[in-house]
Structure 1
């Protein structure tokens, strides 16, 4: 009797089922140190307990994207082990900060299925929730992936495509308990720009670039216990190349955005995201941002910016799509998110 798990294929999913993902993860200061070494993240709220306390939090939380990677990594063996591509994200909300010592586990509900016309794969939509040891939801998001079929002759399921919001309203965002930016120290944060200094439509070239290396990518992917074959096994792709984990690109682009958005401290919402083109070892990631919207919040001194974050490998800054509406070949990531920033 086989003891090993080959992972799920497209025909193994049913709309409405809930999948409880294995191996909860207790996070520590080690995750923060390694996250900062890999990217290297510099936002002050996630670097200093004292800075976080001055902003009304009990201590410095784990970076929002590090929390995302932990929750996401738990889902891979059940959702995307046999995926051909991770296609997009929507309706993501960070609901509770994750602190060192918290234990995180994940569940996913299948909310949509659609077989591709070639009959060899299909798209699976899931809503994933990450919870802490108190059963509090810390993160809630939707993603969809293209998954191989095991049996090409298996009948296609009824098509169910979820109705997803194109973007979260600012009122949908959850502000961490106690957050207060009225005494915010701009000198320690690294830049003087506040909420009122940004205009809708403004674009920011983050200037710097980082060349991705195979070793650091594989270390990061292992850190998040992401077991997707395409990231490790050169035999899993026809071109014999390991695909860089899309979350690695997200974190690198977010880190690069510090230069120009150092005070966009907290990621509160994920409106949408597309991994437009693959990233491989040797590619140099650069980033630019566009301000899409602004809103005030109920928390003292706290505003919200809706930002488009674009990661590229070469190409001219601020270029995104061609005349045909398709992403240009140098665009790797198009991410739409809400960030909290001092007023």
Structure 2
């Protein structure tokens, strides 16, 4: 019998999360070739599938544009679901998390809407564009060494009586992220492969659960940078392998520098069809291609799945790449839009 901390979530958990998110008011969007979006009231957007019109010999490529969420990343789904499941006393006390940016911003956004106090433990060196956004939403930031973020978040939770909502090591969060998988299959039932960025593994765990339970024949493949390939090594080894922060911080993709938890590793080992790695140059090139051809912004972490598709290493057929976020410093984005600059990185 599995230990409680490694109990896998189910499709029913994801459907319940989808209902919870909708109950809070969901903006709707239609997936079209042109990427048109019909926006409405609500914290979470049903994001469109955007066609990426680049030459491909092995099938069409679509982007699941989670970078269009109100906070610029998919994290709003898991944060919203987890916050909705807190009881009244826990909400009154407030919440705490640890994050390099996107989850902290998402939780701060959801907490502000619910009038809940929010504290985010941030690793030193997190992108200013992300920390500024968290502060703008009213979050209190505690900056620590990257290796101390989880321990500090737990200590703050204990000392201040706050509810801890981790960025990925949480069934409530994983179920919320899994709603992306539901939407992909609803909007494109003929998809052959779904490519998903992997950092802590919450997104890939949720999406793989939804997709594989709805259509076992659809492949779900994780993607991570070569410079932060702890998930690939873990799956190859059959056990969780931890890379130290000084090793993963080499990648430009700051949102996927964290490693798997026991919970997410259990999900990926059971439900992921494989994992690919991409180079720093491929990540930068994908950011530029997404900006020029799809006319949307992807941060480095958000571009890793597309990078795998554009590299030619992904399986053939109709493919969806999850663009997990678009919170990037303007100067970095400008570097990637001009291909001659990206090619020399």
After TM superposition, is the score higher than 0.5?
A: no
Determine which structure has more spread, i.e. the larger CA radius of gyration: 1
**TM-score of the pair, normalised by structure 2:** 0.29
Normalized per residue, the structure richer in strand is 1
The structure whose residues are more often helix, as a share, is 2
